[in-house]
Structure 1
Amino acid sequence: MKISEIFKTRKTRLPAMGLIVAVFVIPAAALITTAFCNNRWCQIFPWQNKTISGFEECVSLGYPVAESQPRRCLTPQGSFVENLEQPTGGIAESFYSEEIAVDTPLINALVTSPLEIKGKARGSWFFEASFPVSIVDANNNILGQWYAEALEDWMTTEFVPFKAELSFSASETKMGFLILSKDNPSGLPENDAEIKIPVLFTE
């Protein structure tokens, strides 16, 4: 075979090889990469949208975290709040964080309606001198909702004492949660915050 014919054959093969790479190899590599991707930078297809179970998994997938109290992991589908429930081993004790402290009821306390709630929270938790409180059963059914009222001037960054009296309906489960939510008139998810205090119900 002449040298000119060899070069001619190679020239015809090169475009064909490039076409094979473009049509088969590159898409296959992209599919494998995205199929086993565990980080949000390569989650570009709708079928990759995994169901996130909570704050820790959200963080592990690389989503941004708002440094609120408690912290919130932000996704296009919604946000996940860091769990600040304090381990107690069944012993009743008061709840405390850098943003809010609850003196009554204690963690794992036996509660009845109406429930008296006392504590202190940073002024940023209030809006118009109040913030929402609610109580739910173990299945997250709302049993009662109301507002905690500031007992002093709330226009401050310091702790402000609050008080609430929350009436609630009977629970079908033995345990539930008292939820104190930061009032957020802006509606922005990064400004949301809440704490959940485990409580016990009378039978």
Structure 2
Amino acid sequence: MTEAERAIGTPDDQADETAGDQAEQLSDTADTADRADSEGRGRRRIPVLVGVALFAFVLDLVTKLIVVSQLEHRDAIEVIGTVLQFKVVRNRGAAFGIGEALTVVLTLIAVVVVLVIIRLARKLYSTPWAVALGLLLGGACGNLVDRIFRSPGVFQGAVVDFIAPQHFAVFNLADSAIVCGGVLIVVLSFRGLDPDGTVHRD
């Protein structure tokens, strides 16, 4: 190709170059917008999520180890008379003893919940949402460990419950974390706050 041909070029070549330049500009604009949007919302709240989840998980695990070693096969301990007692109950169902015939299904649901929360963490810029999801994650992992490692078998294990209010089901700290996380998510949703930190109005 001569210098004149290169200078003039063909219409198709010019069109291709123009289209390529436009695509590159659009990509750069999108990247800039994404960076600006992320900077505007601050950093991802993954450390908050992980910290809350670890706290809930470790607290649940430690309390279960203590009550199993100290209270199982013994009389209940009265914390507030008969209104609140500590006694060990092995629960193969969901929170508060629901669905005892669905242990494997409940275990799989817990695994799915954990995976969904991990996926949501990539777009997590809201601290309240990080706390809520951290409570859910820690509680789900706490009971999931019981279902995997406790008798009668893998994915069929019975969860250790020990908090026994009067006229109410026996539960544990993992159940409490799950319920608190769920309630907080409902509140945040009603207030229009999304996990990515944006606020919407219906």
TM-score interval (norm. to shorter):
under 0.3
More helix by share: 2
Superposition TM-score, scaled by structure 2 size: 0.24
More strand by share: 1
Q: Which has the higher contact order (CA 8 A, sep 6+)?
A: 2
Superposition TM-score, scaled by structure 1 size: 0.24
Q: Which has the larger radius of gyration?
A: 1
